Structure 1
């Protein structure tokens, strides 16, 4: 900025003769006035302005007619005029009792254009520059715009992009501004090297950080773009990883990237010091808050003596104690863990100190960086708002909730002092990421041939945090359509309400086509951070098309179909509830934790079906080898359905099992079946099932782990039995397999964490089966973000 302050200092030392004016670019000459003297002007004259009104110039002066002023007022006035961005030069002088303000106006930008840009569109670049059409041209702003464009290209891996500018004068004192861009080549990451790690291999640590090495498909994910801020965040991810696995002394010595200009590739080096591995020693609680008994809080401790030290367990304990103390009337209570290391025994004893804490209130929650997600979607994840007691534990909980939404690539929450000593301002910095998915799945069976499913999912619809999914699928004789919608904060409460609409047709039956359609209304809410409750009401209508009295129908549903055709169809109205529990460390690729689900469903309400159905499933994940990143999984499930009416269960209401439960078998592939003579005419279903799975996965051997390929081996087992169809409904046909015969399969698979999303392919070989089972040995599926 040109202010002329140097010349003003000279003016203060030398008294100039009255009427002599020295003017230059940005210089100020005040005739006959020194710093020690204050002048008074009776008139302010503006010169050189053509587009800017003189009143605008006078309005930015700190000098007014009839008032005294000095050199400081001159200096401040010049600064203000330059700050408007309207002028390229400002000169202030005094002639007699007149203050003369001479200005050179900046040119007006007629048009802003971008040339040479392909990877970043004009709309994206216009968002990062300050120069605007019909705005004033300014050298300082133009320089900042050039750097902003370069930064935008660096963010997509083109650090060597070159940006120049060109001005083309047009009539009326205007100019066209052109940004000339040479995008250059993508700047890749050729290697990520770890130094000092002994407990975990380079491949395992590379999985932890978000910066990835460049590969064949890196241009789709853009995870190989070097960014210094992302590398700092990766340091924190490594700390969390080690701290949660006993390495309390872990630290990152250094992390940096070197650019090889000849190949335009970075080499990232991260040097670490792991330290020793610790276990928990003695764990206790001490309270200085009157009315808070330490013994009453012991049941909340997640850290156990003898267990491997974990910072997460310490944080969970702090959170649990903080919640309990707050409910007892101490919202400002502060829980501080005090650790005592025993270096000889490699133990860490922890004492949780409960103090009343400093009184502080949340003055404001400021959201920054969200370009798509609405502010209220972020705010509602906080259990505190403006005016509430500040609680660091609740802030950490909100951060975790925001991260779990998967709406953002990064979430950072910091604090700033408020307007009063007891006020705190929360600053929430987020960065939106893609939340859409395009999925495709399919398989092949001997009966149905190839089947395929395509679905589109958006988890943050219109930035409102709403979930919507549409799906279309089918095979040679079947079609499936569905639409789902969920509002996670129904009526402003933490209630997830939504609906599912669906329709299926199946023409594989002899002599008719089955058509099912219905709607499912549901609502759910968290009970705790790990336990979730939901309830739903589902109505399904079944119809039969192209059905005639002469049709040859040979399947277990024959008598039921004849009955429902006469009644206009078969309807089911069911009310259900579900309890879900999860401690998984990662929903995408769980390595540790448990997930469990219990569902009960009652059907009746005057519809054709009367039953009560119960199903349960539990999954347990555990790291078998940290160094090799080998993950073990054990799953078990069970289900039972029984009639609550005066008649047997309809065939529609039975349980059916297949590839979704036991790989190697087709949908409805196991369990009781009906035969007409020696001909298999269809699955009849059962009333009871049990199933189990043992599985292990590891990075694909002999392949770079950067590709995201994992190899799976598994064994599935299941049984389905107890058919309850009335004997008269079989019409002389034979029911087989109505006993507790187990089936089992073993197989291998490959999971690819591709830029398109997780893709899975498996081959399963049934090792225990019945001759009449329907097999499906090969299956695949994929989904992708967009």
Structure 2
């Protein structure tokens, strides 16, 4: 249109008329030279706007009566009218002192329907297309909607989808439109290969990337869907993997996806250059920040000379130094790692340079892509808000926190220039993922309680608010039942405090005419101390009910062995109702690199508990457990772990109750029932628990031989050992066995599968050291899944 205007200006000196015409793809103006530069009209007449209305047309014009206008105003008016989508043709002419705008209206969309779609439902497609009922029918918009539908099908692996449209007039300028979809066959991935890899085999690298080869269960996982964005993400995953395993020179030379149209399958190939593996050389910290020396910061360094080069450890060091300097009053401080490569001995020395950095402030934080998680849930993971000082280290920590939530498949944080040179806009792009799960746990005790099962449902991001809720129900033989409800608010009262409660109830009854149950509530608050260390405070109130149809003992108050009652513990309880009120504190140290399949890191917990705030229990209890994971072989993806634990309880007033002592079994030492080891009464053979326990475990897992690694099946071998001993319960005339420090041990094997149905684990353990009165349970099965 502008080109046309320039042409008209050139010939306007020879024109005799003063008409102005605008139509279709361009604007044609014939006017005298003065009119071409500036003209006025006294009125604006609109013709053809039956449904849109004359005022709607006038409101989109830049030309006003009595105000001079030019060819540029005509161009802009035509563009605005077309951009509304309501008009198929626009003509602007000047008749005397009037501007005449003649429009031809597009038909209105009466109804939008979808035919032939089975894999994507109507409501999903309705959110994809922009053509909507009561809106204008616009062919350009319809063509764009066709492309959007194709992209939606490509995202689920149907790249050969065909989409056409059908229209039907329903009168009065209205039309029904149908998008007709031929979904075609699902596009699959036949093969993923790597070229140039020497340190790691194809199987190990396939486990790193998100794209997977098609298999029998791929229709459930959808991990065999090809997309360009996913391929780029896989490239980045490979880079991070190599950077964290000593290969700073690694690069992806190319990645290609070739579609075999005869089979409708992709063949994907990554060509890589690994480079040489390096270790860390000399490590230094240099600071130009006043009052903070490099020596003061060396204790924060995670990288150690002689260890394998690891980009993750460099980033953790930068984060720690940045946080320390910022807390000292330098919010703009910048930490820059500088590498000093030695090609002869294959080392990389690292110097961390700390300087003041440029002053910059956060103008705003933009959150994009979150279709379920609410904005404030994302914003609260940042240590700054709009107007605060900008610090790159805080960006990195926020990204790590968002990823650790488990709410998103991807988190990307970028920055852009704000409205001033010292203003920065922080852009957060996320993609929500399912955060709910259901789980089934089961076990079988031969000759014991038989088959036991527990089902649970949990949601980590309830209603997109970041809240956690879990409901679990369990059962077994002898009418055994258990019920649990947990809720956690991760930001209580706006602070980084995770507050919540647990309601629980369990009961056991028997044909031997007794019923035992316990129920109660736990209130808890968890506060972070550092990124790796947190503390939890709890208050627990528990009520234990014991009902035996045989009535009370011969003294009218308590049972004794001579009363010959059938229920366990009956002769050890003074009354039918028993309460326990306690407070406890737990410290948790967590440096695991993954919460689902950790390969490196520690997970350590320590708890001390005091009971005696009312109720019938008076004791002090302390326990701890530590587990360490280490990748024994990166090539074989061989993961080793060791765990140790222990605890002790003593009475602060009188004797312990039978319910106050520790009980351990299959959860700590596989091959035994949950309360299958430790002291028992001689006459009734009831488990008493113990005052002291120690456990140790070692496990090694690797991908299942003979199966592709990306299927997610792993085999494990393990050995468990431990002991539970001591007794401080008044046995009321009975005696105890197994109170000495007697060792129990078991060995076994397990199979773990990260299946489309969830994480499934099956263990078989054989006790190799046990007492005659111990209760064993060789098989255990568990499953959990995301929904």
Give the structure-2-normalised TM-score. Answer: 0.96
3-state secondary structure, aligned to 2:538: strand
Map 1:160-171 to 2 at 5 A: 160-171=160-171
Aligned to 2:342: 342
> CA–CA distance in 1 between the matches of 2:511 and 2:564?
10
Aligned to 1:757: 758
Q: Does 1:660 align with 2:672?
A: no
**CA-to-aligned-CA distance 1:150-181 (integer Å, 9 cap, x gap):** 11111111111111111111121011111111
3-state secondary structure, aligned to 1:135: coil
Aligned to 1:40: 40
Aligned to 1:673: 680
Asked whether the equivalents of residues 473 and 480 of structure 1 are also in contact (C-alpha less than 8 Å), the reply is yes
Asked whether the equivalents of residues 215 and 706 of structure 1 are also in contact (C-alpha less than 8 Å), the reply is no
Map 1:497-508 to 2 at 5 A: 497-508=499-510
> CA–CA distance in 2 between the matches of 1:164 and 1:182?
9
Shift, 1:511, TM fit: 2.9
Aligned to 1:257: 257
Aligned to 1:467: 468
> CA–CA distance in 2 between the matches of 1:494 and 1:163?
50
Aligned to 2:555: none
> CA–CA distance in 1 between the matches of 2:37 and 2:18?
17
Map 1:362-761 to 2 at 5 A: 362-445=362-445, 446-477=447-478, 478-508=480-510, 510-549=512-551, 552-554=564-566, 557-561=569-573, 563-565=574-576, 569-645=577-653, 647-676=654-683, 681-727=685-731, 729=732, 731=733, 733-761=734-762
Unaligned runs of 5+ in 1: none
Shift, 1:675, TM fit: 2.5
Shift, 1:681, TM fit: 2.9
> CA–CA distance in 2 between the matches of 1:214 and 1:401?
33
Aligned length: 772
Unaligned runs of 5+ in 2: 553-562
> CA–CA distance in 2 between the matches of 1:37 and 1:308?
74
Shift, 1:13, TM fit: 3.4
Aligned to 1:68: 68
**CA-to-aligned-CA distance 1:393-419 (integer Å, 9 cap, x gap):** 100110111011110011111111101
> CA–CA distance in 1 between the matches of 2:771 and 2:391?
61
3-state secondary structure, aligned to 2:613: coil
3-state secondary structure, aligned to 1:232: helix
Asked whether the equivalents of residues 22 and 29 of structure 2 are also in contact (C-alpha less than 8 Å), the reply is no
3-state secondary structure, aligned to 1:145: helix
Q: Does 1:218 align with 2:225?
A: no
**CA-to-aligned-CA distance 1:331-378 (integer Å, 9 cap, x gap):** 111111111101111111111111111111000000000000000000
Moved more, 165-174 or 541-550: 541-550
Aligned to 1:12: 9
**CA-to-aligned-CA distance 1:98-136 (integer Å, 9 cap, x gap):** 211111111111111111111111111111111111011
Q: Note closer, same or farther for the CA distance 1:303–1:706 as it changes in structure 2 (3 Å cut).
A: closer
Shift, 1:545, TM fit: 3.1
Asked whether the equivalents of residues 31 and 93 of structure 1 are also in contact (C-alpha less than 8 Å), the reply is no
Shift, 1:23, TM fit: 6.9
Shift, 1:33, TM fit: 3.9
> CA–CA distance in 2 between the matches of 1:464 and 1:750?
36
Asked whether the equivalents of residues 192 and 267 of structure 1 are also in contact (C-alpha less than 8 Å), the reply is yes
3-state secondary structure, aligned to 1:219: helix
Asked whether the equivalents of residues 111 and 177 of structure 2 are also in contact (C-alpha less than 8 Å), the reply is yes
Asked whether the equivalents of residues 743 and 770 of structure 2 are also in contact (C-alpha less than 8 Å), the reply is yes
Shift, 1:558, TM fit: 2.6
Moved more, 526-535 or 91-100: 91-100
> CA–CA distance in 2 between the matches of 1:119 and 1:36?
58
Shift, 1:289, TM fit: 1.9
3-state secondary structure, aligned to 2:297: helix
Q: Does 1:123 align with 2:123?
A: yes
Asked whether the equivalents of residues 23 and 90 of structure 2 are also in contact (C-alpha less than 8 Å), the reply is no
3-state secondary structure, aligned to 1:548: coil
**CA-to-aligned-CA distance 1:633-673 (integer Å, 9 cap, x gap):** 1110001111111x211111111111000001112111111
Q: Please, what is the CA RMSD of the aligned residues?
A: 1.6
> CA–CA distance in 2 between the matches of 1:510 and 1:232?
65
